Amino acid sequence: MKAAATLLAVATAALLPVAFPGQPYMLQLATLTLCGIVPAIGLNLLFGYTGLVSLGHMGFAGVGGYAAALLMKQAGWPFLPALGSGALLAGAVGLLVGIPCLRLRSHFFIIVTLAVGLILSTLFTNLDWLTGGAEGLPGIPRPRPLAIGGVRIVLATPIGFYWVALAVTLGALLLQWAVVRSPFGSALAAIRQDETMAAARGVDVFAHKLAVFALSAGIAGAGGALQASFLRVAAPASFDLAASINLVAVVIIGGPGYLAGPVLGSIVFVALPEALRAAAQARLFVFGAVLVLLALFAPRGLLGLGTRLLRRHAAS
């Protein structure tokens, strides 16, 4: 049943451009949603499955975004190698940051990740010679066409980039699934439940936390590179503190610790502002009210609420 539902969801997403022909706005909205899902997957691995809250995670997305932008704009690299390099660099930065930060616990770790995000955002804004300063790096070249098995995908078109963004998102989801179902994922679950008990069972807590932190940062970097390439600009405003808090909200709304949580959270987080476009003053109020209601009645997000309701229905 789950496999059939997954295949149906993938097929629906792949055929979305066909369902909305001649409506570039819908396609752009869907692509932006995919760009938001990827870093949310990275944070979900860290927050949902390991219990570590990072308030500066979009800073790592910025590392990936700026790295890909520089490689494509200054060095003339193709899109996919630039995206992969941005993800690797973000993962390396996450590894370096995690070595001192992960020795802290609870709110101390959260505060340090907040500081790291602010530091990275400040660097993006002030390193004019590298990042373009407050203006960012506009004019990123459109990705070159891809040839896969005789099929030529023109990434410069909205439909072509959407399909590639969908492929990157599915790859991130598959990686998340593989990590969660592996012995490594079981160790992360044990750490989330009780670090002391996990250590007593032979789990190297620090090594596992460091590995998932670096992996999470790398996935966020891939999302940042995807977003920068789609918007054709890497700008500090896309990777600041507000963006990091929004990313945490996406994971909370969708359901931390659920494979599809980042997908549902991103859809809601992107679709809701569009539905409230006519009432811009009410956006912050509605977002705040939704988060308060989720904290009170659905601490595991919308997917957690749905799962609980289904279990009650099955029991009755």
Q: What are phi and psi of 126, to 5 degrees?
A: -105, -15
pTM of the model: 0.90
Residue 50 near residue 109, CB atoms below 8 Å: no
* Per-residue model confidence as pLDDT tens digits over 227-255: 999 999 999 999 999 899 889 988 988 88
**Structure confidence at residue 23 (pLDDT):** 72
Give one DSSP letter per residue of 182-217, joined into a string. SHHHHHHHHHHH-HHHHHHTT--HHHHHHHHHHHHH
* CA–CA separation, 308 and 130 (whole Å): 49
Q: What is the pLDDT of residue 275?
A: 58
Residue 269 and residue 252 in contact, taking contact as beta carbons nearer than 8 Å: no
CB atoms within 10 A of CB 286: 14
Are 103 and 206 in contact, with CB atoms under 8 Å apart?
yes
**Which residues of the chain are modeled with pLDDT < 50?**
1
Q: What is the pLDDT of residue 272?
A: 66
The pLDDT, as a whole number, for residue 225 is 96
Strand partners, 153: 146
Start-to-end CA distance of the chain, whole Å, equals 21
Tell me the domain boundaries of the chain.
Answer: 23-240
Angle in degrees, CA 226, 229, 234, rounded to 5? 100
